[in-house]
Structure 1
Amino acid sequence: MFRIVFLLFMGVGAGYLLRRWPLVRKADRGLRFVVWALLFVFGVSIGSNRELIADFGLFGWQAVVLACLGVVGSLAAVLVARRLVFRKGGEQ
Structure 2
Amino acid sequence: MSGGLTDLLKTGFSMFMKVTRPHPSDHPLLFLFLVGGVTPSELRLIREVVSTHKSGTQVLVMSTRLLRPSDVPHLLFSIDRLKPDIGV
Larger strand proportion of the pair:
2
State the TM-score, normalized to the length of structure 2: 0.24
State the TM-score, normalized to the length of structure 1: 0.23
Larger Rg: 2
* Greater RCO structure (CA 8 Å; 6+ sep): 2
